[in-house]
Structure formats: C-alpha cells, structure tokens
Amino acid sequence: MSKGILYDATLCIGCKQCESACAQQNELPYDDKIAAESVQTDHKFTTVLAKDDKFMRRLCQHCEHPACASVCPVGAFHKTADGPVVYDVWKCIGCRYCMVACAFSQPKYEWGKLNPRVRKCIMCPDRVAQGLATACATACPTGATKFGDHESLIAEAKDRIRNNPENYVDHIYGLNEVGGTSVLMLSSVPFEQFGLPKIQRIGQEALPEYTGRVMDMMPDFIPLWALVLGGVYWVSNRRAEVAEVEAEERALRGGK
Amino acid sequence: MTIMNIKVTFWRVLFVVIMIAGLYSTYVRYLHGLGAVSNMNDQYPWGLWIGFDCLCGVMLAAGGFCVTGAVYIFHVERLHSVCRPAILTAFLGYVLFIVGLLFDLGRPWFIWHQMIYMNFHSVMFEVGMCVMTYTTVLFLEFLPNVLERFNLAAPIRWVKKIYPVLVCLGILLSTLHQSSLGSLFLIFPEKMSPFWYTPALPFFFFLSAIACGLAMTIFESTLSARAFGRGLERSVMTELGGALYVVLWIIALLRLQDFVHRHVFASIFKGSYEAYFLWTELILCFAIPLTMLSFKKVRTNPHLLYLAALSTILGFVTNRLNVAVTSMDRWNGSHYLPSFTETSITLMICALGFFFFNMAARFLPIFEDEHHADSHAASASEQLGAGQPTLVH
C-alpha cells in the first residue's frame, strides 16, 4: 500500500525538529546558520517557513505522476511502489530538466561541485521500506507531520477539516494538484502565501500528460512521414528520369 | 602589420581575444564547476547555454535539411550550389551543439548514459537520440567534400548511392528533434508567460527552424562570397529570399492566430516587462524582414537580402531566448543575466564555428564552382566585411 505524509500547519509550532532530523538522515550539515535559512537548497531538503504565527513546511510533494521522472532522459528518477520519488545518482547526466519541469521547484543542484548531484527530499525510502516512518515525522513533537497510508491520511485530512472547518482553509493541498501527490497539506491560511503554486495555476492534470500527448504521436508520425518523404522522392526522381528518356528520344527522332 | 609572417587583422585579433577568454572560462568550468562559471542557479537551471548554444544552435543549423530536402527530394535543382555550404553549416552547428552540451551538462562524462538508460517518455531523450543520429547522417553527407579533396572515387560512389536515404533520414530526424525542442517546454505551462507558452510550441519551433535555415543559407553564402571574393549566384539568393518571405508570412499568421485563440492578443499592447521582449522579437522576426522582402528590389539586392536574413536570425534567436529565459522571469520573481565567463564560452563556440567554416571553405571543395585555388586573396577574415560581393547572373 502506498504511503504518504500529512502535514497540518495548524499543529506546527515551528520548532524545526523536522529540518534537523532530515539533515541527520541525509547526512547534511545542520547548525543555527542553516536553520535560519528559509530557502530549500542542495543542503536543505525541507524548510519550515514562518509568517507571523503561521507556519508552512516545504518539501518534495512526491507526485503520483512525477514530472521529474517523466522528463529525465536517463530515467534517474522513479516513484517506488511505497510512494517515495527517488533519485539514482549514478544514472544522472546533469541536464537539469527535472529542475525546470518540477511545478514545486523541489530539485536543487550542487552548483559548487564538480560532479554535481540533484538533491531533494526522497521520503526516506530505506526507512519506509522497513516499515518505519520518515525521519521528519518521527521527530515531529506535535504530530504536525504525520506519516501513514496515503488513503487513510486523505480520509483523516477530510475529517479534520469537517470537524473543525473554522480552523482550516477548505482545501487539501496535494489531493488533486498535478494529479495528486503523496504529501498532503492542511493550513489555516491560503497556501500560496507560502509560495506553493495555486491549483488553478498548476492544474489537476498529471504534468507528464502535456508532453505525453506529443510523444504518443511519434510511433504513428515516424513511419507516415518517412513514407511521404520516400513517396515524394520516388515521384520527383521518376519524373526526372522520364524527362531524361524523353529528351533522348526527341534527340534521336530529331537526328533521323 | 604582420607578426611572425601572420597578418594581423581586426577579425583575427578578435578571434584570439575571444579564444583566450573562452579558454580561461573553460578552465574555470572544469575546475570549479557550473556555479563558479555561470549565473545559473536553482531558479534558473537553464541559462544562456541551453537558450542559445543548444536551442539556437540547432535552429541555425536547420539549413542543412531544408536545402538538401529541396534539392534531393523535391528536385529543386536550382539550389544545388548552396547544398554543400548548407550541409557544412549544419554539420558544424550540430558538432558545436554537442560541444556546448559538454559545457552545460553537470556530469558531461556520463553523456553516454543516454544510450543505455533510456527513458522513452522523455522528450529530452528523443532529442538526444535524434541529434546523435542526425550528426552521424550529417557527417556522411559532409564526407564527399573530404573524399573529393583526396580524390577517393570509390567511397564517393558508395556515399552517393545512399545519399537519397541520408537526405530522407535527415529530414525525418530534423522534423522530430526541431519540433521536440519546443515540446521540452510543454511540461511546465504554469511557469511560462502566456506570450510564449502555447501547446503549438513544437510547430513554431519547427517552422522557425525552416525560416532560420533559409536565412542562414543566405547569410553564410553572402558572407563567404565577400570573404573569398567569389561570385554570388543572384538567382539562387532571390529564390531563397522568396521562400523565406513565404515561410515568414505563414509563421506570422499562425502566431497571430495563436495569440487570438489563447486570448492573449490584447495583453500584447499593454506595456509590461514581457511585452517589450515580445515586441523586440516580433519586430525582428516579422516586421522588418516581411516589409523588406515584400519589395522585389530587396529580394534581388544581395546587401538588402543579407540584412533581411540577419534580422530574421536575430529575431528568432530572441524568440528562443525569450522562451527559455524571459518567459520564466515572472514565475521566479527575479531576472537572469549570463555572467562574463558564461558568455565568453558561448562566444568561443561561435568563433570556432566561423573558424572551422572558414577552414573548410578554403581547403575543401565546398563551393563547387570555384575551388580554393581561386581564393588567392590573402586572408578570408581580412576581407570579411570589406569586400563587395560580385554578382553572377
């Protein structure tokens, strides 16, 4: 069964335990200076944003139909059966198409390195495979970040909104965005205030559909176009041949 | 002025300066990584190198498939004399595209992974495979020049035999990857300005490649005629100018239809940051060349035709840079400008293109009518921009 993360911003206290746990899990540096950074980078896969007394966590959404996996020419990204969208560094050639394609701008790059990797939250695939919760969910003291079965998390998110409608904006972020994501979010303030793209902007359709429609035409287009080109060549070549023979015949007749 | 028996000219000095700057940047690129050499960042993972070296490089090399297609598939024999220069430009264009890619890729040493870890859903994969195959095709199309130079009759016959297949394959592959360069952008509609994001991007990329292929053929023929003091076939140039005129009208009308259909036509006239870039592009792509080419006087005058072609080229280069960079400025809430070192590598690649074209034109029978023996004039680059193209009717 597919797993997921439910982040409820109304429960978040901005303690950044998730950030620190994430750094530890992924062997990234973490200190006060990095804690103060409010952008995701190659050394910070998740960040807790604060605005007045409101918080919002940013991390890879782990799309059901990830654009990064679809665009990668060497298939360095794939979504596992458990839900995480993972990255195989040994395949990567560094074209950075994943970074451009991601609607949530999650993949970050090691710009300073000579053999750079794409970095992003990979939803602790080793822990998940062992049946454990992600590092961030385990570290969260208030239960704002909850790990569990995707389906039951959706049901729980709906329940929370239904039971306390005054506490939430009536939207589960990630339920329908770009065809659904494994990470779901609840908040009391509109999500776009924290830089999450509006659903009206990114749509409910899986992003790979946009290029898929074109790519699907290829198997039909290639033989058809080859046939047309070959046909035109044959006709125009034949015409030239006939013209040549006719000219010869005319010359012969004229000669007699 | 001469130093060690080499004449010093403006173009040669410029070439050396660009090469020194470019080599320094190459050193920085491969010793300190992409971040040190370019202004690309997490917000702009694609910059000048993808926007210009790759997108424009492939577009400007489209003359190869346009001209060979016209000559060998449609039997437009009149264009035969521009076939070889067009193939040379295309071959150089694709080789330099790959060189550009080796700078841009974060892990260029794994570029061959493309051939073993195939992702058939990826547009980039398709482009990569097409470019790889087409470069091979172009190499074979270019090969007779070298074989003739060394009087190798037998292999020339072999290549001649498969030539129609090569040309057909060339058009097929070009159709695929020229349009697919546009498809690359289809997957992030949300990030791009509606001025440039359209589901029809693949069609526009393909059509603009044809326009630029024709414009580049005019451009390079005029330039090399000047540089080598050789004759320029006015009738061929007029023919190309006419074809360019028609193609530009088709693109202009389709763009207009696209703007109206997606309801962005009105916002073109509202002053905005993107609108200024769009206007620059539209004026260079359509307003200037279409006005110029509508006069017969322009189509028959090599100087004016050259200017019209140049405007077209600059216009579509602006268009592709707009698609790749400008259109994402609003989403990112910031701007991207290439760094000095980043620009110097692009300039170095362009300079290498001119250099190799020059060398090939001198030492290989590219211009069939006049062999290199005729270009007794001291230096090609010296005459560049100085001489007058002579006219042959």
- CATH number at A13 reads 3.30.70.20
pLDDT of residue A255: 61
> pTM of the full predicted structure?
0.90
Return the closest-CA partner of residue B316 out of B47, B55, B46, B63.
B55
Q: Do A193 and A230 belong together in one domain?
A: no
Looking at the partner chain, which of A109, A203, A229 has a beta carbon nearest the beta carbon of B73?
A229
Instruction: Say whether pLDDT at B354 is over 70.
Output: yes
Give a three-class secondary structure readout of B6-31: EECCHHHHHHHHHHHHHHHHHHHHHH
Q: Do A199 and A228 belong together in one domain?
A: no
Q: Do A113 and A224 belong together in one domain?
A: no
Using left for φ > 0, alpha for ψ between -120 and 50, and beta otherwise, residue B173 falls in: alpha
- A93: closest chain B residue by CA: B107
Dihedral angle of Cα B186, B192, B196, B197, to the nearest 10 degrees: 30
Q: Which chain A residues are closer than 8 Å to B75 by Cβ?
A: 236-237, 239-240
Name the percent of chain B lying above pLDDT 90. Answer: 66
Q: CB count, 10 Å around CB of B317?
A: 21
Angle (nearest 5°) at CA A79 between A77 and A83: 145
Looking at the partner chain, which of A96, A110, A225 has a beta carbon nearest the beta carbon of B175?
A225
Name the percent of chain A lying above pLDDT 70. Answer: 99
pLDDT of residue A182: 95
Q: What is the mean predicted confidence (pLDDT) over A151-155? A: 95
Q: What is the mean predicted confidence (pLDDT) over B245-255? A: 96
Return the closest-CA partner of residue B368 out of B224, B213, B241.
B224
How many angstroms separate the CA atoms of B88 and B91, rounded? Answer: 5
What mean pLDDT is reported for chain B? 88
Q: Do A140 and A162 belong together in one domain?
A: yes
Q: Do A172 and A229 belong together in one domain?
A: no
Q: What is the mean predicted confidence (pLDDT) over B232-242? A: 87
Looking at the partner chain, which of A72, A197, A236 has a beta carbon nearest the beta carbon of B75?
A236
Q: Which chain A residues are closer than 8 Å to B107 by Cβ?
A: 92-94, 115-116
A188 or B386: which leads in pLDDT: A188
Return the closest-CA partner of residue A123 out of A166, A209, A62, A206.
A62
How far is CA B33 from its chain centroid? Answer: 27
Q: What band does B131 get if pLDDT is binned at 50, 70 and 90? A: very high
How far does the CA of residue B225 sit from the closest CA of chain A (Å)?
Answer: 31
* Tens-place pLDDT, residues B150-194: 888 888 888 888 998 999 999 999 999 999 999 999 999 889 999
Instruction: Say whether pLDDT at B381 is over 70.
Output: no
Q: What is the mean predicted confidence (pLDDT) over B32-47? A: 93
Instruction: Say whether pLDDT at B383 is over 70.
Output: no
Instruction: Say whether pLDDT at B369 is over 90.
Output: no
What DSSP letter does each residue of A70-99 carry, written as one string?
Answer: HH-TT--EEE-TTS-EEE-TTT-----HHH
The residue from A171, A190, A208 where one domain ends is: A208
Name the percent of chain A lying above pLDDT 90. Answer: 85
DSSP class of B197: -
* Tens-place pLDDT, residues A193-212: 998 999 998 989 999 989 98
How many angstroms separate the CA atoms of B180 and B205, rounded? Answer: 8
Q: Which chain A residues are closer than 8 Å to B190 by Cβ?
A: 103, 197, 201-203
How far is CA B191 from its chain centroid? Answer: 26
pLDDT of residue B5: 77
Looking at the partner chain, which of B46, B188, B190 has a beta carbon nearest the beta carbon of A96?
B46
Looking at the partner chain, which of A40, A67, A74 has a beta carbon nearest the beta carbon of B113?
A74
Q: Which two tokens stand for residue B127?
A: 């482009």
Q: What band does A253 get if pLDDT is binned at 50, 70 and 90? A: confident
pLDDT of residue B378: 36
Q: Which chain B residues are closer than 8 Å to A201 by Cβ?
A: 190
Q: Do A103 and A15 belong together in one domain?
A: yes
* Tens-place pLDDT, residues B67-121: 999 999 988 888 888 899 999 999 999 999 999 999 999 999 999 999 999 999 9
User: What Å distances lie between residue B285 and A205, A240, A256, B295, CA to CA?
Assistant: 34, 37, 58, 17
Buried/exposed code over B296-310 (b: 16+ C-beta within 10 A; e: otherwise): eebbebbebbbbbbb
Q: Do A57 and A7 belong together in one domain?
A: yes
Q: What band does B312 get if pLDDT is binned at 50, 70 and 90? A: very high
- Per the CB < 8 Å rule, is A93 touching B33? no
pLDDT of residue B368: 64
How many angstroms separate the CA atoms of B338 and B128, rounded? Answer: 25
Instruction: Say whether pLDDT at A256 is over 60.
Output: no
- B122: closest chain A residue by CA: A71
Q: Do A225 and A146 belong together in one domain?
A: no
Q: Do A67 and A160 belong together in one domain?
A: yes
Axis-axis angle for helices B83-104, B201-228 (nearest 10) = 120
Torsions phi, psi for A190 (to 5 deg): -55, 140
pLDDT of residue B229: 76
Instruction: Say whether pLDDT at B319 is over 50.
Output: yes
How far does the CA of residue B125 sit from the closest CA of chain A (Å)?
Answer: 4
Return the closest-CA partner of residue A67 out of B333, B119, B50.
B119
pLDDT of residue B390: 39
- Disruptive mutation site among A45, A87, A93, A109 for chain B (greatest number of B CBs within 10 Å): A93
B258 or B224: which leads in pLDDT: B258
Q: Do A20 and A147 belong together in one domain?
A: yes
| Lowest mean per-residue pLDDT among B27-36, B70-79, B161-170, B229-238 | B229-238
Q: Do A60 and A114 belong together in one domain?
A: yes
Instruction: Say whether pLDDT at A36 is over 60.
Output: yes
- A108: closest chain B residue by CA: B42
Q: Do A106 and A223 belong together in one domain?
A: no
How many angstroms separate the CA atoms of A129 and A81, rounded? Answer: 10
| Number of domains composing chain A | 2
Instruction: Say whether pLDDT at B389 is over 50.
Output: no
Q: Which domain holds residue A74?
A: 3-208
How many angstroms separate the CA atoms of B76 and B96, rounded? Answer: 29
Q: What band does B385 get if pLDDT is binned at 50, 70 and 90? A: very low
pLDDT of residue B382: 39
